[in-house]
Amino acid sequence: MSGIAMKKRGFTLVEMTLAIVVGALVLLGVSGVFAATRNMDRIFGDQYAHSTQLHITQMTIRRAMLSLLVLEDQRQAQASTPGNDDQDENQLPDRSRIILETDPVYAAIPGQWQPQRFEVVLSTPPIALDMATKAAAWARISDRDEDSLDFSSTDASGGVLRSVFELRPDESRERIMRRAGIMDPDPQADERLAMSNSTPEGWTLWWRPILRTESNFLRSGGAPLADSAGTQDEVRFRLAGAIPLVKNIEMCSWTIYKSDEKINEYDALEMSSLPAYAEFELLLLNGQYATWMFEIDWVLGDDPLDMVDDDAAADDDDDNDNDNNGGPADPDIPGNRGGTGPDRDNQNGNFGGGDT
């Protein structure tokens, strides 16, 4: 050995640069695979959630269309019960059992598509009332204690009720319900909604029962109200039983088939006025599309308000034979003081500052 030391050769700059580039490409590819997998999971999760909501919506509407409660044809009723032509002058006029109309709350929205509301009287709830908020049970019990609509038993099996399918912008009704104490607080959702200075892109289809105070108001000629109209208690009573069915709707429409004609505005009170079919069509923001046609079935029966009024009149006669106030109470217009509603802690004429 000559004792000459051998030099150790290191990496050149080109080799280092090439190694860094290759490593970065590998990491970028792995990150892309993970990101794509995460996005696919999110997309499939959203599609599954929307498919579940669509299934619940379809079943709810089908059950509603198969349990319509209508009035017997008045000609047949008068022929079978002669001598009942005299009507109590204090009794409110009959309100149609099926009402399909453009929602007056959003009638001023620009554009060709207008949200509709579909009001129906049903012999039984089309969806489990346990799906509503806990405040819904409180509202039903309190409303029933006021000699109101006894449409729900303690085991939530339900009964005769007037109800409505209606559209609201995504998260707008939830915000009002949280402020009214019907739903648990969610500051993050409220902050997101407050930061978006425009109307949300999507809509939510809701089903909710209509309690006595609102029923009397509508029956006396009142128009459907915005979610925030009225005092805090009136907002609670009106929205406590609301159940969201499907969210992120881009467009949807109801169509009634009557005498081989498609119509988008319709009302019916008697059995002979019932349509042949009802169709519901919707398109979600993610591109999912559905259209369903529903058969119509019905049972004959009195309006829930008439049942309550008859029971209240009988109770008044039993309690005081000299009481002449057996007719229905004057409808309590939401936002006014007095009437048959609950005691009010808040006498504001409007709660929530309007809808989004």
Would you say 183 and 133 are in contact if contact means Cβ atoms under 8 Å apart?
yes
Share of the chain above pLDDT 90, in %: 29
Would you say 234 and 352 are in contact if contact means Cβ atoms under 8 Å apart?
no
Question: Using one digit for the tens of pLDDT, what is the confidence trace for 250-298?
Answer: 999 999 998 888 999 999 999 889 998 999 999 999 889 999 999 999 9
Q: Is the pLDDT of residue 140 over 80?
A: no
pTM of the full structure? 0.71
Q: Is the pLDDT of residue 167 over 80?
A: yes
Q: Is the pLDDT of residue 346 over 50?
A: no
- As a residue count, the chain comes to 356
How confident is the model at residue 258, as a pLDDT? Answer: 86
In the three-class reduction of DSSP (H, G, I as helix; E, B as strand; rest coil), residue 142 is classed as helix
Q: Is the pLDDT of residue 331 over 50?
A: no
Q: What is the mean pLDDT of the chain?
A: 75
Question: Using one digit for the tens of pLDDT, what is the confidence trace for 210-233?
Answer: 888 888 889 888 999 999 998 888
Question: In which band, very low, low, confident or very high, does the pLDDT at 324 lie, cut at 50, 70 and 90?
Answer: very low
- List C-alpha distances in Å: 104 to 3, 114, 121, 157, 246: 101, 10, 20, 32, 21
- The span from the CA of 329 to the CA of 213, in Å, is 10
The residue ranking higher by pLDDT, 90 or 65, is 65
> Position of tokens 């006894």?
150
- The span from the CA of 171 to the CA of 289, in Å, is 21
- Cβ atoms < 10 Å from Cβ of 349: 11
Burial grade of 108 (CB within 10 A; 0-12, 13-18, 19 or more): exposed
The residue ranking higher by pLDDT, 238 or 345, is 238
